[in-house]
Amino acid sequence: MNKEIISNTRTGEKYTRIAHDSGLEILIWKTPGQSVKHAVFGTRYGSVNTTFKTDADPDFVTVPNGIAHYLEHKLFENEDTDVFDLYAQTGASGNAYTTFDKTCYLFSCTDNFIPSLKILLDFVQKPYFTEETVRKEQGIIGQEIRMYDDNPNWRVFFGLLEGIYHNNPVKIDIAGTQESIARINADLLYRCYNTFYNLHNMTLAIAGDVDENEILALCDEMLIPSEDKGLVSVVPDEPYEVAVRYAEEEMEVASPLFSLGYKTTPPTPEDAVKYNVLCNIAVSLIADEITDFYKRLYDEGLINSMFSSECFIGDGFFVPIFSGESRDPKRVAELINEEIERLKKTGFDRELFEMTKKAYYGSIVRSFYAPGNIADVLINAGLRRTGNAFSEMEAAANATLEEVENFLREKFDTKNYSLYVVKPC
Protein backbone atom coordinates (compact mmCIF):
# COMPACT_ATOMS: atom_id res chain seq x y z
CA MET A 1 0.00 0.00 0.00
CA ASN A 2 1.41 3.37 -1.08
CA LYS A 3 0.18 6.54 0.62
CA GLU A 4 0.77 10.19 -0.26
CA ILE A 5 -0.54 13.55 0.92
CA ILE A 6 -1.75 15.83 -1.86
CA SER A 7 -1.91 19.47 -0.78
CA ASN A 8 -2.44 22.89 -2.28
CA THR A 9 -0.49 25.98 -1.26
CA ARG A 10 -3.20 28.42 -2.38
CA THR A 11 -5.87 27.14 -0.01
CA GLY A 12 -3.93 25.00 2.45
CA GLU A 13 -6.32 22.12 1.76
CA LYS A 14 -5.06 18.56 1.59
CA TYR A 15 -6.22 14.98 1.20
CA THR A 16 -4.69 11.49 1.25
CA ARG A 17 -4.28 9.30 -1.79
CA ILE A 18 -3.78 5.59 -1.18
CA ALA A 19 -2.85 3.08 -3.87
CA HIS A 20 -4.34 0.04 -2.17
CA ASP A 21 -2.82 -3.40 -2.67
CA SER A 22 -6.13 -4.60 -4.16
CA GLY A 23 -5.67 -2.22 -7.11
CA LEU A 24 -8.17 0.38 -5.88
CA GLU A 25 -7.31 4.07 -5.55
CA ILE A 26 -8.67 5.50 -2.27
CA LEU A 27 -8.98 9.26 -1.71
CA ILE A 28 -9.75 10.60 1.79
CA TRP A 29 -10.35 14.29 2.57
CA LYS A 30 -10.89 15.00 6.28
CA THR A 31 -13.24 17.80 7.32
CA PRO A 32 -12.91 18.02 11.14
CA GLY A 33 -16.00 19.23 12.95
CA GLN A 34 -18.45 18.59 10.11
CA SER A 35 -21.21 16.13 10.92
CA VAL A 36 -22.02 14.85 7.43
CA LYS A 37 -19.84 12.21 5.81
CA HIS A 38 -19.89 11.18 2.15
CA ALA A 39 -18.49 8.20 0.27
CA VAL A 40 -18.49 7.57 -3.49
CA PHE A 41 -17.39 4.30 -5.11
CA GLY A 42 -16.97 4.89 -8.84
CA THR A 43 -15.83 3.15 -11.98
CA ARG A 44 -14.65 4.54 -15.31
CA TYR A 45 -17.62 3.05 -17.09
CA GLY A 46 -20.37 5.09 -18.71
CA SER A 47 -22.75 4.98 -21.62
CA VAL A 48 -20.05 5.75 -24.23
CA ASN A 49 -17.96 2.72 -23.27
CA THR A 50 -19.63 0.26 -25.62
CA THR A 51 -16.52 -0.83 -27.55
CA PHE A 52 -13.65 -2.28 -25.54
CA LYS A 53 -11.10 -5.04 -25.11
CA THR A 54 -8.83 -6.44 -22.40
CA ASP A 55 -5.59 -8.37 -22.61
CA ALA A 56 -7.68 -11.55 -22.67
CA ASP A 57 -9.72 -10.47 -25.72
CA PRO A 58 -8.44 -11.18 -29.25
CA ASP A 59 -10.19 -8.07 -30.59
CA PHE A 60 -12.54 -5.26 -29.62
CA VAL A 61 -16.11 -6.16 -28.73
CA THR A 62 -19.15 -3.87 -29.05
CA VAL A 63 -22.10 -4.31 -26.70
CA PRO A 64 -25.63 -2.80 -26.79
CA ASN A 65 -26.16 0.79 -25.63
CA GLY A 66 -27.42 1.24 -22.09
CA ILE A 67 -25.57 -1.58 -20.32
CA ALA A 68 -23.67 0.71 -17.91
CA HIS A 69 -26.94 2.21 -16.69
CA TYR A 70 -28.54 -1.25 -16.58
CA LEU A 71 -25.73 -2.51 -14.37
CA GLU A 72 -26.21 0.41 -12.00
CA HIS A 73 -29.84 -0.60 -11.50
CA LYS A 74 -29.12 -4.30 -11.03
CA LEU A 75 -26.29 -3.96 -8.51
CA PHE A 76 -28.72 -2.68 -5.89
CA GLU A 77 -30.40 -6.09 -5.83
CA ASN A 78 -28.74 -9.19 -4.50
CA GLU A 79 -30.04 -12.67 -3.90
CA ASP A 80 -31.81 -12.09 -0.59
CA THR A 81 -32.17 -8.36 0.13
CA ASP A 82 -32.33 -4.84 -1.23
CA VAL A 83 -29.43 -2.47 -0.59
CA PHE A 84 -31.70 0.42 0.35
CA ASP A 85 -33.15 -1.71 3.17
CA LEU A 86 -29.62 -2.18 4.50
CA TYR A 87 -28.89 1.55 4.35
CA ALA A 88 -32.14 2.21 6.22
CA GLN A 89 -30.77 0.18 9.13
CA THR A 90 -27.67 2.39 9.43
CA GLY A 91 -29.50 5.66 8.76
CA ALA A 92 -27.53 6.37 5.59
CA SER A 93 -28.98 7.83 2.41
CA GLY A 94 -27.79 5.86 -0.62
CA ASN A 95 -27.95 6.58 -4.32
CA ALA A 96 -26.18 6.00 -7.65
CA TYR A 97 -25.85 7.57 -11.07
CA THR A 98 -24.54 6.76 -14.52
CA THR A 99 -23.16 9.42 -16.83
CA PHE A 100 -21.59 9.26 -20.26
CA ASP A 101 -18.21 8.20 -18.88
CA LYS A 102 -18.62 6.98 -15.29
CA THR A 103 -20.89 5.11 -12.87
CA CYS A 104 -20.90 5.99 -9.17
CA TYR A 105 -22.48 4.54 -6.04
CA LEU A 106 -22.69 6.80 -3.01
CA PHE A 107 -24.12 7.42 0.42
CA SER A 108 -24.16 10.18 3.00
CA CYS A 109 -24.67 9.87 6.74
CA THR A 110 -24.01 11.52 10.08
CA ASP A 111 -23.59 8.33 12.12
CA ASN A 112 -22.64 4.70 11.46
CA PHE A 113 -20.19 5.64 8.72
CA ILE A 114 -18.12 2.44 8.83
CA PRO A 115 -21.18 0.10 8.80
CA SER A 116 -22.56 2.11 5.85
CA LEU A 117 -19.21 1.95 4.04
CA LYS A 118 -19.24 -1.81 4.59
CA ILE A 119 -22.60 -2.02 2.78
CA LEU A 120 -21.22 0.04 -0.14
CA LEU A 121 -18.05 -2.03 -0.55
CA ASP A 122 -20.00 -5.26 -0.24
CA PHE A 123 -22.79 -4.81 -2.79
CA VAL A 124 -20.68 -3.12 -5.48
CA GLN A 125 -18.33 -6.12 -5.40
CA LYS A 126 -21.09 -8.76 -5.43
CA PRO A 127 -23.15 -8.76 -8.63
CA TYR A 128 -26.18 -11.02 -8.84
CA PHE A 129 -28.00 -11.38 -12.15
CA THR A 130 -30.43 -13.96 -13.48
CA GLU A 131 -32.28 -14.02 -16.77
CA GLU A 132 -35.54 -13.56 -14.85
CA THR A 133 -34.40 -10.45 -12.94
CA VAL A 134 -32.82 -9.01 -16.10
CA ARG A 135 -36.08 -9.35 -18.04
CA LYS A 136 -37.98 -7.72 -15.18
CA GLU A 137 -35.63 -4.73 -15.24
CA GLN A 138 -36.14 -4.24 -19.00
CA GLY A 139 -39.68 -3.09 -18.36
CA ILE A 140 -38.62 -0.67 -15.63
CA ILE A 141 -35.82 0.88 -17.69
CA GLY A 142 -38.01 0.92 -20.79
CA GLN A 143 -40.50 3.03 -18.87
CA GLU A 144 -37.69 5.35 -17.77
CA ILE A 145 -36.58 5.78 -21.39
CA ARG A 146 -40.13 6.66 -22.46
CA MET A 147 -40.40 9.17 -19.63
CA TYR A 148 -37.26 11.00 -20.73
CA ASP A 149 -38.35 10.87 -24.37
CA ASP A 150 -41.38 12.91 -23.28
CA ASN A 151 -39.21 15.54 -21.56
CA PRO A 152 -38.64 18.55 -23.89
CA ASN A 153 -35.41 19.65 -22.16
CA TRP A 154 -34.00 16.12 -22.44
CA ARG A 155 -35.00 15.90 -26.09
CA VAL A 156 -33.50 19.25 -27.08
CA PHE A 157 -30.18 18.20 -25.52
CA PHE A 158 -30.00 14.78 -27.17
CA GLY A 159 -31.38 16.21 -30.39
CA LEU A 160 -28.33 18.47 -30.46
CA LEU A 161 -25.95 15.55 -29.82
CA GLU A 162 -27.62 13.61 -32.64
CA GLY A 163 -26.93 16.59 -34.88
CA ILE A 164 -23.32 16.95 -33.74
CA TYR A 165 -22.15 13.35 -33.92
CA HIS A 166 -22.26 10.74 -36.67
CA ASN A 167 -20.97 7.71 -34.76
CA ASN A 168 -20.11 8.60 -31.16
CA PRO A 169 -22.45 6.74 -28.74
CA VAL A 170 -22.66 9.92 -26.64
CA LYS A 171 -25.59 10.84 -28.90
CA ILE A 172 -27.59 7.89 -27.49
CA ASP A 173 -29.61 8.24 -24.29
CA ILE A 174 -27.56 7.08 -21.28
CA ALA A 175 -30.23 4.45 -20.57
CA GLY A 176 -30.04 3.19 -24.16
CA THR A 177 -33.02 2.62 -26.43
CA GLN A 178 -35.96 0.23 -26.31
CA GLU A 179 -34.23 -1.85 -29.00
CA SER A 180 -30.78 -1.90 -27.36
CA ILE A 181 -31.93 -2.87 -23.86
CA ALA A 182 -33.97 -5.73 -25.34
CA ARG A 183 -30.62 -7.34 -26.33
CA ILE A 184 -29.18 -7.19 -22.79
CA ASN A 185 -28.96 -10.48 -20.91
CA ALA A 186 -27.29 -11.78 -17.76
CA ASP A 187 -24.19 -12.99 -19.60
CA LEU A 188 -23.58 -9.55 -21.12
CA LEU A 189 -24.06 -7.89 -17.74
CA TYR A 190 -21.52 -10.20 -16.13
CA ARG A 191 -19.06 -9.63 -18.96
CA CYS A 192 -19.28 -5.85 -18.66
CA TYR A 193 -19.20 -6.00 -14.88
CA ASN A 194 -16.08 -8.20 -14.83
CA THR A 195 -14.41 -5.89 -17.37
CA PHE A 196 -15.17 -2.44 -15.95
CA TYR A 197 -15.73 -3.14 -12.25
CA ASN A 198 -12.11 -4.14 -11.86
CA LEU A 199 -10.60 -2.28 -8.89
CA HIS A 200 -7.78 -1.00 -11.11
CA ASN A 201 -10.49 0.87 -13.03
CA MET A 202 -12.19 2.28 -9.92
CA THR A 203 -11.84 4.91 -7.19
CA LEU A 204 -13.23 5.24 -3.67
CA ALA A 205 -13.62 8.87 -2.55
CA ILE A 206 -14.47 9.82 1.03
CA ALA A 207 -14.99 13.24 2.64
CA GLY A 208 -15.96 14.10 6.20
CA ASP A 209 -14.80 13.90 9.78
CA VAL A 210 -13.62 10.32 9.41
CA ASP A 211 -10.96 8.03 10.82
CA GLU A 212 -8.51 7.08 8.07
CA ASN A 213 -7.20 4.03 9.92
CA GLU A 214 -10.71 2.61 10.35
CA ILE A 215 -11.40 3.10 6.66
CA LEU A 216 -8.20 1.38 5.58
CA ALA A 217 -8.75 -1.51 8.00
CA LEU A 218 -12.19 -2.09 6.48
CA CYS A 219 -10.77 -1.86 2.95
CA ASP A 220 -8.07 -4.39 3.84
CA GLU A 221 -10.82 -6.71 5.03
CA MET A 222 -13.35 -6.28 2.23
CA LEU A 223 -11.63 -5.36 -1.02
CA ILE A 224 -11.22 -8.32 -3.33
CA PRO A 225 -7.80 -8.03 -5.05
CA SER A 226 -7.89 -7.93 -8.84
CA GLU A 227 -5.37 -8.04 -11.64
CA ASP A 228 -5.04 -5.16 -14.08
CA LYS A 229 -6.63 -6.53 -17.27
CA GLY A 230 -5.20 -3.91 -19.62
CA LEU A 231 -8.64 -2.49 -20.36
CA VAL A 232 -8.91 -0.27 -23.44
CA SER A 233 -12.18 1.44 -24.37
CA VAL A 234 -12.57 3.40 -27.61
CA VAL A 235 -15.21 5.51 -29.33
CA PRO A 236 -15.77 5.30 -33.09
CA ASP A 237 -13.90 7.68 -35.36
CA GLU A 238 -15.73 10.90 -36.14
CA PRO A 239 -15.52 13.17 -39.17
CA TYR A 240 -14.81 16.79 -38.33
CA GLU A 241 -18.12 18.07 -39.70
CA VAL A 242 -21.40 17.92 -37.79
CA ALA A 243 -23.91 15.26 -38.83
CA VAL A 244 -26.87 17.65 -39.20
CA ARG A 245 -26.83 21.46 -39.30
CA TYR A 246 -30.46 21.94 -38.25
CA ALA A 247 -33.28 19.72 -37.02
CA GLU A 248 -36.49 20.18 -35.09
CA GLU A 249 -39.38 18.31 -33.55
CA GLU A 250 -42.76 19.22 -32.12
CA MET A 251 -43.70 18.73 -28.47
CA GLU A 252 -46.08 20.24 -25.96
CA VAL A 253 -44.11 23.37 -25.05
CA ALA A 254 -45.26 26.96 -24.65
CA SER A 255 -42.34 28.46 -26.59
CA PRO A 256 -39.57 26.95 -28.76
CA LEU A 257 -36.58 25.47 -26.95
CA PHE A 258 -33.19 25.41 -28.64
CA SER A 259 -29.71 24.03 -28.18
CA LEU A 260 -26.76 25.28 -30.23
CA GLY A 261 -23.43 23.41 -30.17
CA TYR A 262 -20.03 23.65 -31.86
CA LYS A 263 -18.28 20.45 -32.85
CA THR A 264 -14.57 20.31 -32.18
CA THR A 265 -11.87 17.73 -31.52
CA PRO A 266 -12.04 16.33 -27.98
CA PRO A 267 -9.01 16.84 -25.73
CA THR A 268 -6.59 14.21 -24.56
CA PRO A 269 -7.10 13.14 -20.93
CA GLU A 270 -4.10 15.28 -19.97
CA ASP A 271 -5.64 18.41 -21.53
CA ALA A 272 -9.26 17.86 -20.46
CA VAL A 273 -9.17 20.02 -17.33
CA LYS A 274 -7.55 22.95 -19.11
CA TYR A 275 -10.00 22.66 -22.02
CA ASN A 276 -12.89 22.72 -19.58
CA VAL A 277 -11.60 25.82 -17.78
CA LEU A 278 -10.82 27.79 -20.94
CA CYS A 279 -14.16 26.81 -22.47
CA ASN A 280 -16.17 27.80 -19.41
CA ILE A 281 -14.48 31.19 -19.27
CA ALA A 282 -14.96 31.68 -23.02
CA VAL A 283 -18.70 30.92 -23.08
CA SER A 284 -19.19 33.22 -20.08
CA LEU A 285 -17.38 36.04 -21.85
CA ILE A 286 -19.47 35.50 -24.99
CA ALA A 287 -22.94 35.51 -23.51
CA ASP A 288 -23.17 35.62 -19.71
CA GLU A 289 -25.67 37.96 -18.09
CA ILE A 290 -22.95 40.57 -17.48
CA THR A 291 -22.15 40.94 -21.20
CA ASP A 292 -23.60 43.60 -23.48
CA PHE A 293 -24.43 40.84 -25.96
CA TYR A 294 -26.68 39.05 -23.47
CA LYS A 295 -28.45 42.32 -22.63
CA ARG A 296 -29.01 42.96 -26.33
CA LEU A 297 -30.60 39.55 -26.90
CA TYR A 298 -32.70 39.96 -23.77
CA ASP A 299 -33.85 43.49 -24.59
CA GLU A 300 -34.86 42.40 -28.09
CA GLY A 301 -37.00 39.63 -26.58
CA LEU A 302 -34.94 36.89 -28.24
CA ILE A 303 -34.00 35.15 -24.97
CA ASN A 304 -35.19 35.04 -21.38
CA SER A 305 -33.77 33.93 -18.03
CA MET A 306 -33.65 30.31 -19.23
CA PHE A 307 -30.69 31.14 -21.51
CA SER A 308 -27.49 29.39 -20.43
CA SER A 309 -24.16 28.06 -21.65
CA GLU A 310 -22.06 25.04 -20.78
CA CYS A 311 -19.07 23.00 -21.87
CA PHE A 312 -20.06 19.40 -22.53
CA ILE A 313 -16.82 17.52 -22.11
CA GLY A 314 -15.80 13.96 -21.31
CA ASP A 315 -14.13 10.82 -22.59
CA GLY A 316 -14.08 11.30 -26.37
CA PHE A 317 -16.49 14.25 -26.66
CA PHE A 318 -16.38 18.02 -26.36
CA VAL A 319 -19.07 20.55 -27.33
CA PRO A 320 -19.51 24.19 -26.21
CA ILE A 321 -23.28 24.70 -25.94
CA PHE A 322 -25.72 27.62 -25.74
CA SER A 323 -29.34 26.80 -24.99
CA GLY A 324 -32.60 28.29 -23.85
CA GLU A 325 -36.06 29.39 -24.91
CA SER A 326 -36.69 31.77 -27.81
CA ARG A 327 -39.41 32.84 -30.22
CA ASP A 328 -36.74 32.82 -32.96
CA PRO A 329 -33.99 30.24 -32.28
CA LYS A 330 -32.46 30.56 -35.75
CA ARG A 331 -31.95 34.30 -35.24
CA VAL A 332 -30.35 33.67 -31.84
CA ALA A 333 -27.94 31.17 -33.41
CA GLU A 334 -27.13 33.63 -36.18
CA LEU A 335 -26.36 36.40 -33.68
CA ILE A 336 -24.24 34.14 -31.47
CA ASN A 337 -22.18 33.15 -34.51
CA GLU A 338 -21.74 36.82 -35.44
CA GLU A 339 -20.68 37.67 -31.89
CA ILE A 340 -18.12 34.84 -31.83
CA GLU A 341 -16.61 36.01 -35.12
CA ARG A 342 -16.50 39.61 -33.84
CA LEU A 343 -14.74 38.53 -30.63
CA LYS A 344 -12.22 36.48 -32.61
CA LYS A 345 -11.14 39.77 -34.21
CA THR A 346 -11.40 42.16 -31.27
CA GLY A 347 -10.57 39.86 -28.37
CA PHE A 348 -12.27 39.97 -24.97
CA ASP A 349 -12.41 42.94 -22.63
CA ARG A 350 -9.58 42.45 -20.10
CA GLU A 351 -11.55 43.79 -17.14
CA LEU A 352 -14.47 41.49 -17.94
CA PHE A 353 -12.05 38.58 -18.31
CA GLU A 354 -10.51 39.21 -14.88
CA MET A 355 -13.96 39.46 -13.29
CA THR A 356 -15.15 36.25 -14.94
CA LYS A 357 -11.98 34.37 -14.06
CA LYS A 358 -12.20 35.39 -10.38
CA ALA A 359 -15.86 34.35 -10.20
CA TYR A 360 -15.05 30.97 -11.74
CA TYR A 361 -12.09 30.44 -9.44
CA GLY A 362 -14.20 31.39 -6.44
CA SER A 363 -16.91 28.87 -7.35
CA ILE A 364 -14.28 26.11 -7.40
CA VAL A 365 -12.84 27.11 -4.02
CA ARG A 366 -16.33 27.17 -2.47
CA SER A 367 -16.83 23.56 -3.53
CA PHE A 368 -14.11 22.58 -1.04
CA TYR A 369 -16.22 23.57 1.97
CA ALA A 370 -18.96 20.90 1.95
CA PRO A 371 -18.20 17.15 2.20
CA GLY A 372 -20.71 16.27 -0.53
CA ASN A 373 -19.08 18.64 -3.02
CA ILE A 374 -15.62 17.53 -1.95
CA ALA A 375 -16.48 13.88 -2.55
CA ASP A 376 -17.68 14.80 -6.06
CA VAL A 377 -14.45 16.68 -6.78
CA LEU A 378 -12.41 13.72 -5.50
CA ILE A 379 -14.23 11.06 -7.51
CA ASN A 380 -14.00 13.11 -10.70
CA ALA A 381 -10.26 13.62 -10.17
CA GLY A 382 -9.68 9.97 -9.32
CA LEU A 383 -11.55 8.59 -12.32
CA ARG A 384 -9.90 11.13 -14.61
CA ARG A 385 -6.54 9.52 -13.78
CA THR A 386 -4.62 12.72 -14.56
CA GLY A 387 -3.85 15.62 -12.24
CA ASN A 388 -5.55 15.82 -8.85
CA ALA A 389 -8.51 17.41 -7.06
CA PHE A 390 -6.86 20.84 -7.27
CA SER A 391 -6.15 20.73 -11.00
CA GLU A 392 -9.23 22.70 -12.09
CA MET A 393 -8.61 25.38 -9.47
CA GLU A 394 -4.99 25.73 -10.57
CA ALA A 395 -5.96 25.86 -14.24
CA ALA A 396 -8.47 28.61 -13.49
CA ALA A 397 -5.94 30.57 -11.44
CA ASN A 398 -3.34 30.35 -14.20
CA ALA A 399 -5.60 30.98 -17.20
CA THR A 400 -4.59 34.02 -19.25
CA LEU A 401 -6.63 36.28 -21.50
CA GLU A 402 -4.47 35.28 -24.46
CA GLU A 403 -5.13 31.57 -23.84
CA VAL A 404 -8.90 32.10 -23.75
CA GLU A 405 -8.80 34.19 -26.93
CA ASN A 406 -6.74 31.58 -28.75
CA PHE A 407 -9.12 28.89 -27.51
CA LEU A 408 -12.06 30.82 -28.95
CA ARG A 409 -10.37 31.13 -32.35
CA GLU A 410 -9.37 27.46 -32.48
CA LYS A 411 -12.37 25.67 -30.94
CA PHE A 412 -15.44 27.72 -31.87
CA ASP A 413 -15.89 27.02 -35.57
CA THR A 414 -19.02 28.92 -36.59
CA LYS A 415 -19.20 26.91 -39.81
CA ASN A 416 -19.34 23.65 -37.86
CA TYR A 417 -22.32 24.00 -35.57
CA SER A 418 -25.62 22.22 -35.09
CA LEU A 419 -28.92 23.71 -33.92
CA TYR A 420 -31.80 21.65 -32.55
CA VAL A 421 -35.23 23.10 -31.80
CA VAL A 422 -38.23 21.71 -29.94
CA LYS A 423 -41.19 23.80 -31.04
CA PRO A 424 -44.84 23.88 -29.98
CA CYS A 425 -47.25 21.43 -31.61
Structure confidence by residue, pLDDT tens digits, 101-158: 999 999 999 999 999 999 999 999 999 999 888 988 888 999 999 999 999 999 999 9
DSSP assignments along 155-220, one per residue:
HHHHHHHHHH-SS-GGGS-TT--HHHHTT--HHHHHHHHHHH--GGGEEEEEEES--HHHHHHHHH
Measured between alpha carbons, how far is 214 from 366 in angstroms, rounded to an integer? Answer: 28
- Residue 1: predicted pLDDT: 85
- Residue 81: predicted pLDDT: 79
> Of these residues, 4, 13, 25, 72, which one is catalytic?
72
Structure confidence by residue, pLDDT tens digits, 79-89: 777 899 999 99
Measured between alpha carbons, how far is 402 from 348 in angstroms, rounded to an integer? Answer: 9
DSSP-derived 3-state class of residue 60: coil
Neighbours of 31 (CB within 10 A): 20
- Residue 79: predicted pLDDT: 76
DSSP conformation class of 44: S
Measured between alpha carbons, how far is 330 from 280 in angstroms, rounded to an integer? Answer: 23
Cα–Cα distances in Å, from 197 out to 41, 57, 98, 388?
Answer: 10, 16, 13, 22
Quick check: is 72 catalytic? yes
- Residue 80: predicted pLDDT: 77
Neighbours of 111 (CB within 10 A): 11
Domains defined for the chain, CATH in brackets: 2-234 (3.30.830.10), 246-424 (3.30.830.10)
Q: Which residues of the chain have pLDDT under 70?
A: none
- Residue 303: predicted pLDDT: 98
Q: Which residues contact 267 (CB under 8 A, 6 or more apart)?
A: 274, 275, 313, 318
